[in-house]
Structure 1
Amino acid sequence: MATISSLGSAAGIDGEAIIKQLLTVESAPKTKVQTENSTLSTNLSTWGRIQSAFSAVRDTANALNKDDFWKATTAKSADDTAVSVTSSTSSTAGNYSVAVQSLAQSQYVASNAFAAKTDVVGEGTLTIELGTFTDNPAAPPAATFAAKAAATAVNINIGPGDNTLEKIRDKINAANAGVTASLITDASGARLVVRGSNSGAENAFRISVADADGTNSDGSGLSALAYDPSADITNMTRSQKASNAKATINGLEVTSDSNTLKDVVDGLTIKLNKVTDTATESKPIELTVSQDTASIRAGIDAFAKAYNEAIGLIRTQTMYDAESKTGGPLQGDSTAVGLLNQLRSMASAGTSASSVYGRLSDIGLQMGKEGTFTTNGTKLDKALTDNLGELRKFFSTSNDADPNAAGIGQRFYKMANQIAGSDGSIAARTDGIKSTIKRNEKKIDDIDNRLTLVESRLRAQYTALDNQMTKLNGLSAYVAQQLSVLTSS
């Protein structure tokens, strides 16, 4: 609404100041509600932090309840450059001796040299087929070929537009035939090199040619790229034979088409990096698989940290500081105090899940006077080393029939999950705060509407008064003028 800066000037009063003062009095309830909402918003934010803290307690406690957590292993090789190893939760602790006789290889064949990569080779059809070559000492032929099961021969048509060396390379690579082609250019010229995409004896390949000029094996035209020892056709030269890796593990011979051995030993991935067993020297590599107590210790430490942070947060938000004479945003909040007591009670509770450990203090998590844990590392490490099975029971045993026989991890998880969940006490508390904030916002809107009406009414009243006084002042001036005229006459 537009203001009139001289409102009430005719009456000799400051109408604007009076209206402002009256509106200030009228808006006092709005200020009170706004202050309340500001406090509620702070509380809502605080409850959000507490909910996150309980979620962390829930998640770290639940991690202690999982089978894989307690089955974690670590693997180490005496020489990673020769044999490297990784373990999993299905690995069994133990020692393994690995000797590598040969590595798995892919087949390589190379053409004769051409003057340039743009040279025309020829036209026709290349047929690439994966399989296994078996050398034949009673040649000919030099070898026999057995097609790979489930593999299909791929035909590659070479026409006038793609009959150069580089175009043929591109056609082979686009065919997805289980091989990869490249060009090597040096002082002798450009050569086409074809290699198997995968290592292993069954991933060898032969290249048959149906040459457009009808000479399919004499090395002229497209037949220059033929390679099939089983038909005594070797117009391309094999520079590397497709072969399997060969190794012995604890004296047992194993073969693989890959240098990565997965689950040859349960749960282990063993990578063969170089030969260690030759005709002149044998150097087995020792692998050690052990329980990963470091990761288990880290999980327990993470749980203790999450618990301490939850305790510290609630204490800070509910405490009264005598020096500053100020209280936390949740001072006196019964729900917050109740949650603090629940945490402390759970931390000091005992369990019969283990025959060795009954309380968290037994494994080195000792509670201080403020309710937080301090960790006795020596005691915890001893539990991890001496009684890992009992430690697992202490945390992860599930027993719905008898809560006292359930593990500490299970009990903390259920408590924190209930508190932090959508139907938990924190959600109920925050829902109540949100409802109050919403009601207060409605009150503020109502007050604003009322203030608009009050201001409009006051301005109308003072404007009418000002107009009336202007008229009276005009009449007074007229009367005075007439009296002056009569007196002078």
Structure 2
Amino acid sequence: MPDLTFTGIGSGLQVSEIVSAIVGAETAPYVSRSNKQQAEITTDISAVGALKSALENLTESITDLADADNFQLRSAKGSDSFVNLSASKDAQIGNYSVKVDALAQSHKLSSGAFAADETISDGIGMVTIEVGSNSFSTMLSPTNTLEDLRNQINDGPLVGSDKNDSVIATIITGDDGQHLVLTSKETGLSNAIKVTVQDGDGNDTDNVGLSRLAYDVSDPDPLNHIKNLSEVTKALDAQITIDGTLVVTNGTNEFKDVIDGVDITVTKQHDVDDDNSKINVSENNSNIKPGLEKFVESYNELQKLSKQLGVAGESGNGPLAGDSLLRGVMGKLRQELSNSFDTGNGNTLSLSEIGLQSDRYGVLSLDTEKLNELIDSDISGVQQLFVGTDSTDGFASSIKELTSFYTDADGLIQTRIDSRTAQLDRLDDDRVAFGRRMESLEARLYSQYNAMDLIVANLTATGSYITAQLDNMPGVVRKTK
């Protein structure tokens, strides 16, 4: 497009204004039509996208009710703070008593006092620590101190490929000096600490030099025990007594499935005069009501959106007014809500029978009293209503299958969005092509008007020449007004 605006020299016409007017007359209706198409397509994409999102929310809201593992759960409750409880679906309903006889403890050992700068080994020595199945060693030189040993136990270097997975070394400084403290990371008798040394003086148990750190009570004969370290805390298993007769021990304070499906974590030991802890295992279906309420909320949001999208009337139409996609999905959902579902043995159950109601505007509500009554009287039927049987789908499965037909990557809604997006791409391409056509038209008009202007200029010049020649002819008298 030329950058200059000019008047025809020969003709005196406003060429730029004329060309702009002609091009504008061609452009204006196209731009209006193109913008309208873009707005319609974009609105449609937004509308069906909102519908897809609402359907996905509906699917998510019903997911928990589609899983049989979320029905007929178990709840384990204790009478006091001596035990913490959890129960799986496998737990059997019943009552039990538990006495905590002992809590599991980690093993802790402490050395005698060392001066801060005292060397602990008479020559080259080695310390080996065993805790359960974990065993590791570290070498010491004649210059190493207690702090060096602590660092090597915790961070290495260690001899061989074994690593320290089992013990923590710390130093406690008292008035008498530094004490090395070893604590097993895990509780229980199986995690008792054993320390053997190879002392530079050749005697590994004499409580002199590196031997001061030796501790080994693994021999059945107490006379062979080596106790050069002091035992601060014994390694102990936890022990409980169930129903006054059944004794159970464990290396940790957690007892899993000692009672079928019930995990018991002991937190403190019963004194002699304490009452035993009472455990009650009962059926727990408290998650069904909030699951249904979540579905009701999502469905009502979808219902509200569908009315906004499909409204038709004097005040204006929604973007999906009369649209078969919207009518289809909402009609199928309403049909699912009114269906009865097989619950086995020739029985059926509907949503209305468990308290799900729809008013004349299509808004759902939940009668919780009716729901709770049916849960108490027929929890298996309620479960099969949502989950289904071996041969039939339940309500939750049917809803998920229905919505996926619309919301999947190859579903109806995404297919429509893809088609509309392709229309936008084609519209962009058409705009580029139209712009080029208008540039070509503008250039052609300027060329034509310039050619016309040149002709007019030539004619004007010729007329002026003829007039001048006639004026100079003898006897010619110009009549003046």
Return the TM-score normalized by structure 2.
Answer: 0.87
Q: Residues 71 and 90 of structure 1 are in contact (CA less than 8 Å); yes or no, is this contact kept in structure 2?
A: no
Q: Give structure 1 stretches of 5+ with no counterpart.
A: 131-147
What per-residue deviation string (whole Å, max 9, x for no partner) do you get for residues 371-422 of structure 1? 221111222222233321111121111465xxxx642222222212222223
1:444 is aligned to 2:443: no
Pairwise mapping of residues 44-83 of structure 1 onto structure 2 (< 5 A)?
A: 44-80=45-81, 82-83=82-83
Q: Residues 154 and 177 of structure 1 are in contact (CA less than 8 Å); yes or no, is this contact kept in structure 2?
A: no
1:198 partner SS: strand
In the alignment, which residue of structure 2 is the partner of 1:248?
241
Q: Residues 125 and 158 of structure 1 are in contact (CA less than 8 Å); yes or no, is this contact kept in structure 2?
A: yes
1:128 partner SS: strand
**Equivalent position to 1:419, from 406, 411, 415:** 406
Letter in 1 for 2:41: L
1:333 is aligned to 2:323: yes
Q: Superposition RMSD on alpha carbons, in Å?
A: 2.7
Describe the shift of the 1:241–1:4 C-alpha distance in structure 2 as closer, same or farther (beyond 3 A): same
What per-residue deviation string (whole Å, max 9, x for no partner) do you get for residues 58-89 of structure 1? 33334312121114333333223x21112233
Deviation at 1:485, TM superposition (A): 9.2
Q: Distance in 2 between matches of 1:201 and 1:471?
A: 119
Q: Residues 128 and 206 of structure 1 are in contact (CA less than 8 Å); yes or no, is this contact kept in structure 2?
A: yes
In the alignment, which residue of structure 1 is the partner of 2:358?
367
Q: Residues 78 and 278 of structure 2 are in contact (CA less than 8 Å); yes or no, is this contact kept in structure 1?
A: yes
1:193 partner SS: strand
Describe the shift of the 1:389–1:203 C-alpha distance in structure 2 as closer, same or farther (beyond 3 A): same
What per-residue deviation string (whole Å, max 9, x for no partner) do you get for residues 104-145 of structure 1? 0111100112232x4322241111123xxxxxxxxxxxxxxx
1:274 is aligned to 2:265: no
1:12 is aligned to 2:12: yes
Pairwise mapping of residues 99-118 of structure 1 onto structure 2 (< 5 A)?
A: 99-116=99-116, 118=117
Deviation at 1:477, TM superposition (A): 7.4
Percent identity between matched residues is 29
Q: Distance in 2 between matches of 1:309 and 1:412?
A: 16
Q: Distance in 2 between matches of 1:88 and 1:466?
A: 96
What per-residue deviation string (whole Å, max 9, x for no partner) do you get for residues 91-110 of structure 1? 33333322101000111100
Q: Residues 125 and 211 of structure 1 are in contact (CA less than 8 Å); yes or no, is this contact kept in structure 2?
A: yes
Pairwise mapping of residues 127-276 of structure 1 onto structure 2 (< 5 A)?
A: 127-130=128-131, 148=132, 151-160=133-142, 163-174=144-155, 175-176=163-164, 178-229=166-217, 230=219, 231-251=224-244, 252-276=246-270
2:259 partner SS: coil
1:345 is aligned to 2:335: yes
2:232 partner SS: strand
Describe the shift of the 1:479–1:385 C-alpha distance in structure 2 as closer, same or farther (beyond 3 A): farther
Q: Residues 289 and 368 of structure 2 are in contact (CA less than 8 Å); yes or no, is this contact kept in structure 1?
A: no
In the alignment, which residue of structure 1 is the partner of 2:282?
290
1:435 is aligned to 2:426: no
Describe the shift of the 1:95–1:8 C-alpha distance in structure 2 as closer, same or farther (beyond 3 A): farther
Deviation at 1:438, TM superposition (A): 3.0
Aligned residues between the structures:
458
Describe the shift of the 1:477–1:266 C-alpha distance in structure 2 as closer, same or farther (beyond 3 A): farther
Q: Residues 320 and 328 of structure 1 are in contact (CA less than 8 Å); yes or no, is this contact kept in structure 2?
A: yes
Letter in 2 for 1:426: I
Describe the shift of the 1:214–1:399 C-alpha distance in structure 2 as closer, same or farther (beyond 3 A): closer
Q: Distance in 2 between matches of 1:227 and 1:390?
A: 64
Q: Residues 74 and 284 of structure 2 are in contact (CA less than 8 Å); yes or no, is this contact kept in structure 1?
A: yes
Q: Distance in 2 between matches of 1:96 and 1:310?
A: 48
Q: Distance in 2 between matches of 1:364 and 1:350?
A: 13
Q: Distance in 1 between matches of 2:173 and 2:348?
A: 72
In the alignment, which residue of structure 1 is the partner of 2:118?
119
1:378 partner SS: helix
Q: Distance in 2 between matches of 1:481 and 1:268?
A: 124
Question: Which deviates the most, 477-486 or 432-441?
Answer: 477-486
In the alignment, which residue of structure 1 is the partner of 2:158?
none
2:127 partner SS: strand
Q: Distance in 1 between matches of 2:15 and 2:349?
A: 79
Letter in 2 for 1:330: L
Q: Distance in 2 between matches of 1:344 and 1:177?
A: 61
Deviation at 1:35, TM superposition (A): 1.7
In the alignment, which residue of structure 1 is the partner of 2:85?
85
Q: Residues 341 and 349 of structure 2 are in contact (CA less than 8 Å); yes or no, is this contact kept in structure 1?
A: yes
Q: Distance in 2 between matches of 1:95 and 1:472?
A: 119
Q: Distance in 1 between matches of 2:83 and 2:396?
A: 39
Q: Distance in 1 between matches of 2:311 and 2:438?
A: 39
Letter in 1 for 2:214: A
Deviation at 1:211, TM superposition (A): 0.8
Question: Which deviates the most, 388-397 or 432-441?
Answer: 432-441
Q: Residues 52 and 407 of structure 2 are in contact (CA less than 8 Å); yes or no, is this contact kept in structure 1?
A: yes
2:268 partner SS: coil
Letter in 2 for 1:58: T
Question: Which deviates the most, 466-475 or 53-62?
Answer: 466-475
2:34 partner SS: helix
2:342 partner SS: coil
Return the TM-score normalized by structure 1.
Answer: 0.85
1:306 is aligned to 2:301: no
